[in-house]
């Protein structure tokens, strides 16, 4: 894998933030409505609203207020490779004493739940083989950083052909599901029915005694 992939991702999203500010378009989403839908799907993995929650690729921290509105009261950690995103998140959410944001992954270490929204979508000009190696390395990090479960979303290969972009990544949902089951155990759920051109995968560590 090329070592410049994270740097290119950080540069891309820093530019989006500079252009559009702390809005859904600032993290390359089309609308607040679609952003809320995907956050809802990701947060379904959290069945304990008092536990700790980590957001891998948190952007400006848009997930935090949604989680709080849904009753989440635990510690929240946000990680992002783009320093301007972390600076914006710290400024926006300074009043939340249980939230912290950092460009170091360690801010998520020991989280009960870790979620990642959109971090696999924008491959830019990275060759597909290298991008897929990067994607699977990040999924490994989600597993390592979470103690109970993790969740992530991807654009779907079933997207309309005329809407696909060459700089985006559209994996096969069934392939991603199969890889997660084989690597992390059978407690995996795939959701592909929430109205967006994407899917969400939940991976839960095997409950004790099962």
Average pLDDT, the chain: 94
Q: Are 201 and 116 in contact (CB under 8 A)?
A: no
What would the 3-class secondary structure string for the chain be? CCCCHHHHHHHHHHHHHHHHCCCHHHHCCCCHHHHHHHHHHHHCCCCCCCCCEEEECCCCCCHHHHHHHCCCCCCEEEECCCHHHHHHHHHHCCCCCCEEEECCHHHHCCEEEEEECCCCCECCCCCHHHHHHHHHHHHHHHHHHEEEEEEEEEECCCCCHHHCCCCECCCCHHHHHHHHHHHHCCCEEEECCCCCCEEEEEEECCCCCC
Q: What are the sequence ranges of the domains in the chain? A: 5-204
Q: What is the mean pLDDT of each run of 10 residues along the chain (210 residues)?
A: 76 92 88 93 95 97 96 97 96 98 97 97 94 96 97 97 95 98 96 97 74
Q: Are 29 and 155 in contact (CB under 8 A)?
A: no
The pLDDT tens digits of the residues spanning 54-89 come to: 999 999 999 999 999 999 999 999 999 999 999 999
At the topology level, CATH places domain 5-204 in Rossmann fold (3.40.50)
Residue 129 has which token pair? 């083989």
The pLDDT tens digits of the residues spanning 107-126 come to: 999 999 999 999 999 999 99
pTM (two decimals): 0.93
């Amino acid at each position: 894998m090329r070592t410049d992939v994270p740097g290119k991702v950080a540069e891309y999203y820093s530019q989006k933030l500079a252009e559009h500010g702390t809005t859904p378009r600032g993290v390359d989403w089309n609308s607040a409505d679609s952003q809320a839908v995907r956050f809802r799907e990701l947060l379904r993995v959290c069945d304990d609203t008092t536990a700790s929650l980590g957001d891998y690729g948190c952007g400006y921290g848009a997930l935090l207020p949604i989680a709080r509105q849904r009753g989440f009261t635990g510690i929240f950690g946000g990680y992002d490779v783009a320093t301007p995103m972390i600076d914006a998140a710290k400024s926006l959410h300074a009043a939340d004493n249980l939230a912290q944001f950092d460009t170091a992954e360690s801010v998520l270490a020991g989280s009960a739940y870790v979620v990642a929204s959109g971090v696999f979508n924008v491959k830019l000009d990275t060759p597909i083989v290298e991008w897929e190696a990067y994607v699977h390395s990040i999924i490994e990090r989600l597993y390592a950083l979470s103690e109970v479960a993790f969740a992530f979303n991807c654009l779907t290969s079933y997207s309309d052909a005329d809407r696909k972009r060459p700089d985006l990544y559209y994996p096969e949902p069934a392939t991603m599901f199969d890889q997660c089951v084989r690597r992390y155990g059978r407690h995996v759920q795939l959701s592909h029915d929430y109205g967006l051109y994407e899917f969400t995968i939940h991976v839960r560590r095997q409950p004790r005694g099962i």
